Amino acid sequence: MKRSLFAALAAGAFLALSAVQVAAQTEADQLKNLKPAKYVFLFIGDGMSLPQRMMAEEFSRSTTGKGLTINAMPQQSYSKTSSASNFITDSAASGTAIACGEKTNNGRIGMDAEGKKNLESVAEVAKKNGRAIGILTSITINHATPASFYAHNVSRDNYYDIGLDLVKSGFEYFGGGGLQGNRSGDNDIYKIAEKAGYTVAYKDEVPKVDLKKADKLFVRGHNGQLPYAIDKPADEWGLAEYTQQCIDFLMLKNKPFFVMVEGGNIDHHGHSNDAGSSLRETMEMDRAVSVIMDFAKKHPNDTLVVVTGDHETGGLTLGFANTQYESSIYLLGNQKCSSDEFKNKVNRLADSILGPRRFGPPGRNNNNQNNQDNAEEKTIKFDDIKPLITENFGLVFDNQEAPRGNNANVNLRSADNNARRKLNLVLSKSEQDRIEEAFNRQFPNGKRAGGGGDAVANTVVAIFDNKCSVGWTSGAHTALPVDTSAYGVNSNVFYGMYENSDIAKKLKAIVSVPVK
């Protein structure tokens, strides 16, 4: 009896081992038997894990009847995101892992954990193999994620040197947001890029660039990042338009290519715990993926599309204590602007009531003294700010139509949609008290507080998200694995659960296969 149990355990252990070996063998075989993929695309949603994808999916499905393109991709797998130094990665270490295939410390760009050795990125391998390269992002182009594909620096904060690496890379297309940490005069990186043969274009010039005449392109919609998707004017180019321009340009090169597109601001709205802005950023990146899926349908035997995230941000959960089994993610559609823009709106309203903000100590300038004295008498009241909150979030104060108080005793299931919408957005007494308390912190005695905090906007967005059945647990990143999706040639190698550094290993092997 004992002996047969031991034998069974030993056999089990042997079987388990051989299963791992078989998996490793299968993967090695797959990477050996890769097909030529002429056009390779990698999308990275910064701060995008499954909750972000599922929130955008549910919002999109309930408002347009259609889910996300990225969630419908045939190959879905999981990537672990930890860095060499931390269980919770930053964007530099995860960008480097995804770009170069090696885990490094938080903060490093394209360098090993010790900060001694440069790591080669998939974009650099692709270039060596005769491919044209495109790097695009909605945030600044020398920020950690895009930088990991062309730069090598011990610190992500060395923006200027990273910008110089951008020019040195000689990659064919850089597009989306502009540089941060640039310098002026002869040290202006845009000028250095022009001298190195780049056609540099800004704002309205970008759509007018003659793609046939340009050798390499460095185009930006703004000097910093592109506007948030939720705030972006409809006629302004977003990630999808830059992606279209990039492939139009690279197709003229008659070369195979590798393109990385980053949806950079999903992360930012995760840090600010702003669900309505986050999901629109995910949908904006999904729109760019759709551009490539249309391209892929025209080149079905030549195209690989991979979509991943670099980490989760915010500890997003789809469900909140009070909402129980009701989901109201569609209510996030009531949000009209980002929390950052709402902070500006609150301050502009305060300026219109209290007069413009004073800088420096009072009484320095006698000419202004009278105006300031008048301004000092004015005060802003909680009632002044309520219409702004209702207008931008649909939140209802002192409701006359629906019963005031918590919604818990209302049968939501039997209420029709309009009634549910109103009931869910009616502020309870305690929620109104929280906003009023925040107002009194930001505007004590109806005046501006010295610190100039944004308590009103932060509190309104927190309450609004919870009423829309969304919760957050962190203002930073979390260690949740991310979804890695793939479509097209060699997409079968993206399966199972693996380290984010394996993405680069797979992609490096793929871009190294010669293309006729």
Query: In 3D, which of 104, 500, 27, 71 has the Cα closest to residue 309?
Result: 500
Minimum Å gap between C-beta 59 and Zn ion is 22
264 and 228 Cβ atoms separated by less than 8 Å: no
According to DSSP, the β-strands at 257-263 and 482-488 are unpaired
| Minimum CB distance to Zn ion smaller for 102 or for 267 | 267
Residue 374, burial from CB neighbour count under 10 angstroms (0-12, 13-18, 19+): exposed
Minimum Å gap between C-beta 147 and Zn ion is 14
Minimum Å gap between C-beta 476 and Zn ion is 7
| Minimum CB distance to Zn ion smaller for 152 or for 477 | 477
Exposure string over 61-88, b if 16+ CB within 10 A, otherwise e: eeeeeebbbbbebebbbbbbbbbbbeeb
E strand or H helix that includes residue 72: none
CB-based contacts of 354-359 (< 8 A; 24+ apart in sequence): 354/378, 354/379, 354/380, 354/447, 354/448, 357/448
Report the residue closest to Zn ion, judged by CB. Answer: 267
Residue 382, burial from CB neighbour count under 10 angstroms (0-12, 13-18, 19+): middle
Residue of 91, 169, 278, 338 with catalytic role: 91
Of 133-141, 160-168, 259-267, 364-372, which segment contacts Zn ion by CB under 5 A?
259-267
Of 71-79, 235-243, 266-274, 315-323, which segment contacts Zn ion by CB under 5 A?
266-274
**Binding to Zn ion (CB under 5 A): which residues in 13-32?**
none
Minimum Å gap between C-beta 385 and Zn ion is 30
Of 243-251, 267-275, 405-413, 452-460, which segment contacts Zn ion by CB under 5 A?
267-275
| Minimum CB distance to Zn ion smaller for 256 or for 270 | 270
Of 157-165, 261-269, 274-282, 455-463, which segment contacts Zn ion by CB under 5 A?
261-269
Of 104-112, 239-247, 262-270, 502-510, which segment contacts Zn ion by CB under 5 A?
262-270
Minimum Å gap between C-beta 14 and Zn ion is 44
Supply the DSSP symbol for 337.
S
176 in helix, strand or coil? strand
| Minimum CB distance to Zn ion smaller for 349 or for 479 | 479
Indicate which single residue of 102, 267, 431, 465 sits in contact with Zn ion (rule: CB under 5 A). 267
| Minimum CB distance to Zn ion smaller for 58 or for 267 | 267
| Minimum CB distance to Zn ion smaller for 79 or for 328 | 79
| Minimum CB distance to Zn ion smaller for 43 or for 330 | 43
Sign of the alpha-carbon dihedral angle for 207, 224, 171, 105:
negative
134 and 126 Cβ atoms separated by less than 8 Å: no
Report how many helices (DSSP H) and strands (DSSP E) the chain contains, helices first. 17, 14
Site mask for Zn ion (CB under 5 A), range 75-114, x = bound = ----------------------------------------
484 and 308 Cβ atoms separated by less than 8 Å: yes
| Minimum CB distance to Zn ion smaller for 118 or for 158 | 158
Contacts (Cβ under 8 Å, ≥6 apart) of 187: 160
Minimum Å gap between C-beta 474 and Zn ion is 11
Query: In 3D, which of 332, 323, 217 has the Cα closest to residue 274?
Result: 332
Structure tokens at 187: 């040290």
Site mask for Zn ion (CB under 5 A), range 214-253, x = bound = ----------------------------------------
Tokens 């104060």: give the residue: 397
The site for Zn ion, by CB under 5 A, has a size of 1
Minimum Å gap between C-beta 134 and Zn ion is 23
Phi, psi of 142 (to 5 degrees): -105, 20
430 is an active site residue = no
Minimum Å gap between C-beta 105 and Zn ion is 16
Contacts (Cβ under 8 Å, ≥6 apart) of 106: 83, 85, 86, 89, 90, 92, 93
| Minimum CB distance to Zn ion smaller for 124 or for 267 | 267
Of 5-13, 163-171, 263-271, 344-352, which segment contacts Zn ion by CB under 5 A?
263-271
Supply the DSSP symbol for 214.
-
User: Is 262 among the residues that bind Zn ion (CB under 5 A)?
Assistant: no
Tokens 């506007």: give the residue: 227
Of 69-77, 265-273, 293-301, 378-386, which segment contacts Zn ion by CB under 5 A?
265-273
Minimum Å gap between C-beta 47 and Zn ion is 6
- Per CB under 5 A, residues contacting Zn ion are 267
Residues recognised as catalytic? 91
